[in-house]
Structures are given as structure tokens and as C-alpha cells.
Amino acid sequence: MTIHRILESWLLHANRRPKILIADDQPTNIKVLHELLGAQCDVFMATGGADAITICQRELPDLVLLDVVMDDIDGHEVCRLLKADPLTSAIPIIFITSQSQEADEVMALQLGAVDFITKPINPTIVNARVSTHLTLKLQGDLLRASALLDGLTGVGNRRKFDEDLLKDWRYTARKKEPLSIVMLDVDSFKRYNDQYGHQAGDVCLKSVARAISEALRRPYDSVARYGGEEFACLLPSTDLRGATVLAETIQACIRALGIEHAASDVAPVLTVSIGVASAMPTPSANPHDLIETADRQLYQAKRSGRARVCSIAAEFKLQDAQ
């Protein structure tokens, strides 16, 4: 498959162009590769290992074309560091290097690279191998996305939430911006199931998930089914006030669905209790403390009579993130 056909597949299935990082300390080599791939891919460039790592963490490219010999951090060490980081470990790496001995290729593959191309650059070979690995990356992403969806509601599952939390925590820590979590629980859901049956309960949860999703206006906000009748939203670059306003909007949207709940001791229609927590993430703090803070606020909302929003700015002891 050609790079042009690859672009068509990415636009169709991922709704974007593939992202490639070219890391090489020789600008001439970067220029050649950019001219070869730039028309079909979003290309990022780094002339050193440290910059390559930073760009990978920030942009999460779909493929890295990595030179071995660089002035600050060599390609082998860059590969080790990227594969050791859960945020970047799944990014495929192709070494492009003048080192052509069999032992060099073996070492590259042992480090976790998916391919090895020797210099001087042959455009046909680069095109073919880049096309192959972008195809595999897209297929893997589609399978992974399917595995990270909740089968009932179609929003993210708990695993997806955990992955997004780590990603959003690191992103907002780098940007020095707040991260907020909204946790919500359907009020008296067991009574709802007892009154209307589990099939009606499933339909109810689907409606709640859809209402939450529609209330999230920004593409980088996310919602996941946290467990049972509980949902969680991640709101990067959102302070406590903004998150609380959004939580109140979500609450109003769910109440406006008008789902009958005769067994509720709160209201004649379905309602939710919501806990909100916001913090300024740092690399040394544990993001799960923010979850616990939001969960305590959710408990406070339920203890205070349900169908309400409780929120707080998180303050927690800094410790190594798990």
C-alpha cells in the first residue's frame, strides 16, 4: 500500500492524517524524509534525542523515524526511554542509520524497534516500510479503541479512563494548567432496576451516557463508565469553577431527559449526584489522589440528599505517581 492510500485509510478511519516524528542530527536527512512524507503525513522534526522524547510525549506520533548517532542522547537510549514510558511505549520506531552490521539491526530490534533501514536513504524502501507500519498502527489503534469502549453505553470503559487520566495528568502538568474530574452516580439506581427491570435499566444508562457526552463540548474532554451506574469525566485545562458549571449542566441535562423514577425518594424523574475535584497536576504527585478527592465529594453529595453537586479544590501530599 502506498503512502497516498495510507492517507486515505487514516482520514476514513481516524479522521486525521498520520503523525510522524523524524529524529536525525543531520538537517539534510530530515529534509529528504520530509519531502518524501510531508504531503501525506503531519511531520515533526527533532535534531537531538532530548527533543525527540519531548515531542513524543507531547504529540504522541504514530511512527518515529530515529537516527542512532546523535549528539546529546543517542537513538538507542531514546528508544529505551520511549519504550519504558507507558505514555509512549506503543509508538512504533524505525531506526534509520548508517550502521549496517547485522549486530546493529539485532540490537535495534531487541530494544523494541519495529524495523531497521540503512543509509543512504532509498525513497522506495522508506515509502514501503513506512506504509506498512502506519497500516499496522492504524489497525492496532482501531482494535485498541474497540477494547477500550464500554459494551453497553459506548463511552470509554474503566481502562480507558485510567489511560486518559495518566495522559491528561502529564499534559496539564507540562502546560501548568488545572485538571478536573467529575464523578457522578445515578441516584437510587437499584430501586430503578427493581421497579422497571434490568432492560429498562440498561436503556437508562445509555441515555445518561449520551447526555453526558453531548454536554462535553471540547474534543479533549472525555467520559467513561467508571463502574455500574457511575460515570467519570476528565476535563483537562479546566479549573474548579468551570468544572462545577459543567457538572451542573450535566445534572440539568439528565434531569431534563424526564426518565420516570417512581421509586426514587429524591424526585419523580431520574437524577444524579455529582462530585467534582480540581488540582494543578505536578509530575511528582499521584493522579489517583484526585480521583479519591472527587469520590469523596460524590459521597458528600449523596449523603447531603442526592441530586446535587459538591466540589472542592484538591490538596494532597506530593508523592511519586504510580
Q: Which residues of 198-218 are buried (b: 16+ CB within 10 A; e: fewer)?
A: eeebeebbeebbbbbbebbee
CB atoms within 10 A of CB 35: 11
Angstrom distance (rounded) from CA 96 to CA 100: 10
Candidates 8, 35, 214, 229; catalytic one = 229
- Decide if 260 contacts 296 (C-beta within 8 A): no
- What is the phi/psi pair of residue 89, to 5°? -65, -25
Secondary structure (DSSP) of 250-295: HHHHHHHT--B-TT-SS-SB--EEEEEEEE---TTS-THHHHHHHH
SS3 1: coil
What residues contact residue 172 under an 8 Å CB cut-off, 6+ apart?
178, 179, 236, 237, 280, 281
292 is catalytic: no
SS3 223: strand
- Of the candidates 129, 133, 130, 89, the one whose C-alpha atom is nearest the C-alpha of residue 111 is 89
Secondary structure (DSSP) of 171-188: HHHHHT--EEEEEEEETT
- Decide if 277 contacts 293 (C-beta within 8 A): yes
Catalytic residues: 229
